[in-house]
Amino acid sequence: MDKINGYSEQEAKELIEFIAEGRKRGEALSRLFGEYGRRCGRAAGSVRNYYYQFLKSEDARAKEILRGKRLRAEKIRAFSDEERSEMLKKILSERGKGYSVRRSIANVCAGNEKLMLRYQNKYRNLVKKQPELIESAAKELGLSPDPAIRRTDFLQRRLEKEINDLYDRLAVALREENDRLKKAVERLTEENEILRRAGKADRGA
């Protein structure tokens, strides 16, 4: 079967239906990405990236799968020049203390994981597309240019992994609840089988 952006048509349909049903229940996309990823053995970040790519697909099959689902990409709040400049100064100041990019962003965001995700995505995009802005901000602070901008490919992979890990951590509570429910279902299934056999034995007596 021909694939749609890397997923089989059936896989794509199952993902979209899963997300649509979850959204109707009011569940957050990050939790849905994590849950679907665990079910299918995929990283939450990978599911997230595929979902947004699918929403923008021009493939007729994709449009048909999306028909009536009322799914759309959430509007991304763009960084103003002032916010971007402030973010860079804070991150680079932490980098100047010897911290990694991830630790620097965590320090700046004081543990706010949603803000961390926003900053990580923006910093990653700047490293990839506008490294001169990072160099300029570093010079203003009297710091050496962030060595990360000379290791773009490496940092890109590293930040992608960190973003995926962050989504996984956001869904950890759901994972634990899913495991608990799975065990409960298994226990009930076993009890049901015991009762079924007992009823069969009584009928045969």
At a CB cut-off of 8 Å and minimum separation 6, what does 23 contact? 29, 32, 71
Which phi and psi angles does 145 have, rounded to 5°? -55, 140
User: Which residue, among 47, 13, 35, has the nearest Cα to 181 in the 3D structure?
Assistant: 35
| Tokens 């799914």 belong to residue | 71
Report angle CA 73, 77, 82 to the nearest 5 degrees.
160
DSSP secondary structure letter of residue 4 = E
At 90-145, the pLDDT tens digits run: 999 998 888 888 899 999 999 787 788 788 888 888 887 888 888 888 888 887 76
125-137 pLDDT tens trace: 888 788 888 888 8
pTM of the model: 0.47
